[in-house]
C-alpha cells in the first residue's frame, strides 16, 4: 500500500480526534446550581431572564430539567410549561413555583384549560415524578423530571411570571415580554426558539443522522466484515496470492476512510445536540476509531513475512480486527436504537449481516474441503507461502496433518 496515503490518513484522524475532544467541552456548566446538579445542556430563553437546563434520557424518554427565572422577588410566581397539543397558554402543562404563606417555596404542576385559570394544582397530561423549587439571589428555580409524551421530543413551550397576593396567583402582565414568552424546545437537538416552528432544523438534523447512519453502517458495518472475509477465505487459493492481500487492504482502508468520515458526522451530531447522551454508542464509537487507527498503524509497521516477530503481529492483527468487526456490528445496532422508528433500516442491515454470515459459513466449509483434499492429493505440499498468510491454509494444514 501507499505509505504516504496511510500516513496522511492517520494524521487526518488525529486532527479529528483533537477537534472531537474540544467540541465535547460544553459551556453549559457556567451556572453553578447550589445543589450541584449538572445538566447536559442549557439554553437562555429569549425573554424574561429565563434559562432552561436539561438532560434528556433516550432510554426512558424522560428529561431532567431546571428552569431558572431571574429578576423576581419572593412575592412572585413563575411558571414554565410544555404545550404538547397546541401553542401559547391554553393547553399548557405548567410547572409552577411561588413562596407560600409558610414562607416555603412551593412547586407543583398545573394544566391550563382556559384563560381564566387560577393555576390550580392538578396532574399534567404526562407524568412528573419529581418537582421541587428554590429561590436564591432573586432567582426562582424549578427542578423537575418529566416523562415526555411518547414519540416526540419537540414541543411548544411557554414561560411566565406574575405576582402573588395572599395565596392567590395574580394574572401576569399582558404587555411586552410577558406576551412574547413562547417558543419551541427540542430536547434532542438542544434547540430552543423564541418563535414557533423549529421544523426545519429538526428535519435537517434527521438528514444528518441518516447520513451518519449510512456512512457508518456501510463502512464499519459492511465493508470491514467483507474485507475480513476476503482475507480469510481468498488466501487459501494459491492463485489468489497476493491478490487477496490487496483486496483486503483496499477494502479495510476505504472502509476506514469512509468510517472516519462517518465518525466525524457523529461527533458533529454529538456536539450539536448537547442535551442528549447516547453514552454507549459514543463510547463504542470512540473505541472503534482508536482500534481502527491502530490497525492502520499496524499495516505501516508490519514486519516482513519471515521476520521472527511476524507471528505476534499476526495474532495482534487478528485479535484487533475481529474485535473491531464485533464492536462495529454492535454499534450499528446501538445506532438503530438511537434512531428509534427507522425499523426498515434495521431490517435491511440484519439482512446484509445474515447474508455475510451465510457466505462466511459456506466459504469456511469450502475452504476446509479444499484444504483436506489438497492434503490428501499432495502430502508433501509445503504451502510455500504458508508463512506469509499464517492464516487459514497453514493452520488447517497443521491441523489436518
Ligand X SMILES: *[C@@H]1O[C@H](CO)[C@@H](O)[C@H](O)[C@H]1NC(C)=O
Note the residues at the interface with ligand X (CB under 6 A). Answer: 27, 30, 57, 59-60, 62, 100-102, 104, 106, 129, 145
Choice between 26 and 87, CB closer to ligand X = 26
Q: Which is nearer to ligand X, 57 or 385 (CB)?
A: 57
Q: Which helix (H) or strand (E) holds 108?
A: strand 105-111
Q: Residue 57 or residue 310: which is nearer to ligand X going by CB?
A: 57
What is the smallest separation between the CB atom of 77 and ligand X, expressed in angstroms?
13
- Whichever of 103 and 341 has its CB closer to ligand X, that residue is 103
Closest C-alpha among 145, 129, 134 to residue 68 = 134
Gyration radius (Cα) of the chain, Å: 29
Q: How far is the CB of 64 from ligand X (least distance, A)?
A: 7
Q: What distances in angstroms separate CA 200 from CA 157, 193, 338, one per listed residue?
A: 17, 12, 20
| Contact (Cβ atoms closer than 8 angstroms) between residue 289 and residue 189 | no
C-alpha cell at 22: 474540544
CB of 311 to ligand X, least distance (A): 45
Q: 300-306, long-range: CB within 8 Å, 24+ apart, which pairs?
A: 300/3, 300/6, 300/7, 300/10, 305/387, 305/388, 305/390, 306/387
d(CA 381, CA 358): 30
Residue 104 or 254 having the CB closest to ligand X: 104
Q: How far is the CB of 145 from ligand X (least distance, A)?
A: 5
Q: Choose between 166 and 384: whose C-beta lies nearer to ligand X.
A: 166
Q: Judge if the upstream peptide bond of residue 242 is cis by omega within 30 degrees of 0.
A: yes
| CA dist list (Å): 328 to 90, 212, 250, 285 | 48, 14, 18, 8
To ligand X, the closest distance from the beta carbon of 60 in angstroms equals 4
Smallest distance, Å, CB 27 to ligand X?
A: 4
Q: What one-character DSSP code corresponds to residue 151?
A: T
Shortest distance in whole angstroms from residue 393 CB to ligand X: 48
Instruction: Tell me whether residue 106 or residue 318 sits nearer to ligand X (CB atom).
Output: 106
Kind of pairing, strands 50-57 and 41-44? antiparallel
Amino acid at each position: 500500500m501507499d505509505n504516504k496515503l496511510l500516513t496522511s490518513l492517520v494524521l487526518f484522524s488525529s486532527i479529528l480526534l483533537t477537534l472531537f475532544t474540544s467540541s465535547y467541552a460544553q459551556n453549559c456548566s457556567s451556572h453553578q446550581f447550589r445543589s450541584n446538579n449538572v445538566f447536559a445542556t442549557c439554553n437562555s430563553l429569549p425573554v424574561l431572564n429565563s434559562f432552561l437546563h436539561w438532560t434528556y434520557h433516550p432510554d426512558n424518554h424522560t428529561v431532567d430539567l431546571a428552569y431558572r427565572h431571574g429578576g423576581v422577588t419572593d412575592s412572585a410566581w413563575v411558571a414554565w410549561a410544555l404545550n404538547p397539543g397546541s401553542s401559547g397558554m391554553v393547553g399548557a402543562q405548567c410547572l409552577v413555583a411561588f413562596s407560600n404563606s409558610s414562607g416555603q417555596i412551593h412547586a407543583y404542576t398545573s394544566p391550563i384549560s382556559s384563560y381564566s385559570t387560577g393555576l390550580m394544582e392538578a396532574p399534567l397530561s404526562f407524568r412528573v415524578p419529581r418537582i421541587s423549587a428554590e429561590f436564591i439571589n432573586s432567582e426562582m428555580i424549578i427542578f423537575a423530571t418529566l416523562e415526555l409524551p411518547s414519540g416526540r421530543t419537540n414541543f411548544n413551550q411557554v414561560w411566565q411570571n406574575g405576582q402573588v397576593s395572599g395565596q392567590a396567583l395574580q394574572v401576569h402582565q399582558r404587555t411586552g415580554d410577558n406576551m412574547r414568552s413562547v417558543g419551541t424546545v427540542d430536547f434532542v437537538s438542544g434547540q430552543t426558539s423564541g418563535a414557533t416552528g423549529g421544523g426545519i432544523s429538526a428535519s435537517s438534523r434527521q438528514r444528518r443522522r441518516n447520513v451518519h447512519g449510512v456512512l457508518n453502517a456501510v463502512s464499519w458495518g459492511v465493508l470491514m466484515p467483507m474485507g475480513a472475509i476476503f482475507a480469510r477465505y481468498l488466501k487459501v487459493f494459491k492463485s489468489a496470492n497476493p491478490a487477496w492481500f490487496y483486496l483486503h487492504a483496499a477494502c479495510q482502508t476505504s472502509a476506514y476512510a469512509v468510517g472516519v468520515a462517518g465518525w466525524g458526522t457523529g461527533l458533529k451530531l454529538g456536539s450539536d445536540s448537547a442535551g442528549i447522551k447516547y453514552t454507549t454508542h459514543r463510547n463504542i464509537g470512540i473505541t472503534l476509531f482508536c482500534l481502527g487507527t491502530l490497525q492502520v498503524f499496524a499495516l505501516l509497521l508490519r514486519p516482513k513475512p519471515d521476520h521472527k516477530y511476524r507471528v505476534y503481529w499476526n495474532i495482534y492483527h487478528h485479535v484487533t480486527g475481529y474485535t473491531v468487526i464485533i464492536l462495529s456490528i454492535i454499534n450499528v445496532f446501538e445506532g438503530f436504537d438511537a434512531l428509534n422508528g427507522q425499523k426498515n433500516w434495521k431490517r435491511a442491515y440484519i439482512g446484509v449481516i445474515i447474508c455475510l454470515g451465510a457466505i462466511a459459513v459456506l466459504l469456511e466449509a469450502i475452504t476446509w474441503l479444499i484444504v483436506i483434499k489438497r492434503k490428501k492429493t499432495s502430502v508433501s505440499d509445503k504451502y510455500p507461502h504458508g508463512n506469509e498468510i499464517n492464516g487459514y491454509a497453514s493452520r488447517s494444514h497443521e491441523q489436518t496433518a
